[in-house]
Amino acid sequence: MSQDKPTIPTGVELLHDPLLNHGTAFTRKEREKLGLQGLLPYQVVPQEKQVERIMENFHRKPNDLEKYILLIGLQDRNENLFYRVVMENIDLMMPIIYTPTVGQACVEYAHIFRRPRGMFITAKDKGNIANILKNWPRDDVRAIVVTDGERILGLGDLGASGMGIPVGKLSLYTACAGIHPATTLPITLDVGTNNENFINDPFYIGIKEPRLRGEAYDEFIEEFITAVQERFPHALVQFEDFANINAFRLLEKYRNRICTFNDDVQGTASVTVAGVYSALRLTGGQLKDQTLLFLGAGEAGIGIADLIVSGMVEEGLTEEEARAKCWFVDSRGLVVKSRTDLAHHKLPYAHDFEPMADLLTAVEAIKPTALVGVSGQPRTFTQKIVERMAEYNEQPMIFALSNPTSKAECTAEEAYTWSDGRAIYASGSPFAPVEYKGKTYVPGQGNNSYIFPGVGLGVTAVAAKHVTDEMFMAAAKTLADQVSETDLAMGRIYPPLQDIRKVSLAIAVAVAEVAYKQELATVPRPNDLVAHVKTHMYDPKYESLA
């Protein structure tokens, strides 16, 4: 992949360039040639020692938000070192640079703001977005994550403070799949906020006006998409944390026009379906034999169900038969045909069934094999509900996927305890291993970071014109294949995070295969596809600048 190769700056300017700065690791030769003598202390400190110093400071920090601030500061100064630290300590770093800590960071973003990352494009810029995008200093952008900040994790409307999400997601594109940071661009579309706390906060960084809606919003998005296509014609655009009222329709509007996907819809679907495939290795049976009950009928739930339906159709069911195995409970009860308040995206899953007001009643009536929480409502998988699931299933699937941790429908300990150790549990945010009756259970984290970095790598490596549902199904199956028998024996239905680069490579190759099969790749097929994808994986080692 071609990358911008600007003239290497010298002196203080070089030390202020996070992509090129090596800090105290600059060699004597580099210091002499690049005008760094006197600007650095005497000792030349190799990268591995720099990592040790960062980790020493990391462990000194009193809480996770302070650790987040430390790491973002490092990313602003020295990206190679930042990614080396993250990659070598992925278990420790993932919960800090992404969920759950990134949620707290977004809530407090205006108060911990240090320097801008990415681009803030506002409703005030309407008519001038193309010119504003010209201000980005690099031309070869391959991956954009964009949010309008309306539905940040399970936290709601955070407006411009939602920028922590695109920044965090693209950090994972690089750390987990090796997409070069110079080719990534986080963008926040600041179209106002309806969050009164932010509007009244003197430090809030965004527009203090109600959110743009209707035709004006659509025109703004259209101008943005058109300008991105002109400025960065090879970029993959990932929609992130848009509200339901916009997420589905924007995906449908643009998915066949540009290279795009919505991670909340398709990424969440893929990682969850992977978890179900892994769980079936423990329970036996096929996907088409399962009955799933979802708590929450928004982007994540409908996206998961749509991909589940595709998998069941592959196994021989009709689409109608497959949809009949997916049930939803929303804030007003079971989604059934007799209801007159259903949003358009819920209608395909509205069954001819008696109305039910709560989840427990629905569980008792439907007797699902899997319970999937994507509601953003904490502690809604009660003891009685989990006990009922364990009564109906030898190994019930309990997926409490809402983020951050505080929003999980139940904890890992609750799921294992209430099911007498028989639940197959997954969550969106990490939970520690659980000891129960002398056995250690390692809960799986159904985090989208297992999926979207690999999908992004596969799409960008072959310059695919579009991102398809078949790519996400291939990613799900590949991820499930990466789970070992040892993992399953511990109750873990996802591979360990330490293997994430290997997992992302496998997913990228699978996605690239689909791109070639569907004639969407614009790069001629290489003789060795694995080797080709590997050439696109950045390794954060210092390259000599002398």
Catalytic, out of 67, 68, 83, 98 = 98
Catalytic (active site) residue 98: yes
Q: Which amino acid, one-letter code, is at 429? A: S
Catalytic, out of 67, 109, 169, 407 = 169
- Name the nearest CA neighbour of 385 among 406, 408, 360: 360
Rounded to whole angstroms, how far apart are CA atoms 445 and 426? 5
Distance from the first to the final alpha carbon of the chain: 23
Query: Would you state the structure tokens that stand for residue 351, as one six-digit string?
Result: 């069954």
Return the exposure string of 490-507: e unless at least 16 CB atoms fall within 10 Å of the residue's CB, then b: bbbbbbbbebbbebbbbb
- Name the nearest CA neighbour of 533 among 546, 523, 543, 520: 523
SS3 482: coil
Peptide bond into 453 cis (omega under 30): no
Q: Is 360 exposed, middle or buried (0-12, 13-18, 19+ CB in 10 A)?
A: middle
Rounded to whole angstroms, how far apart are CA atoms 403 and 154? 6
Contacting residues for 477 by C-beta, under 8 A, at least 6 apart: 274, 277, 510
Contact between residue 295 and residue 386 where contact means Cβ atoms under 8 Å apart: no
Angle 535-257-263 from CA coordinates, rounded to 5°: 60
Query: Would you state the structure tokens that stand for residue 367, as one six-digit string?
Result: 């007797």
SS3 144: strand
CA distances from 233 to 226, 255, 268, 467, 493 (A): 10, 15, 26, 15, 38
SS3 content of the chain, % helix, strand, coil (to 5): 50, 10, 40
Measured torsion, CA atoms of residues 52, 54, 58, 59, in degrees rounded to the nearest 10: 20
Peptide bond into 100 cis (omega under 30): yes
DSSP bridge pairs for 19 = none
Rounded to whole angstroms, how far apart are CA atoms 428 and 20? 35
Element housing 125 (H / E): none
Compute the Cα dihedral for 419, 423, 429, 433 and give only its sign: positive
Catalytic (active site) residue 439: no
Residues involved in catalysis? 98, 169
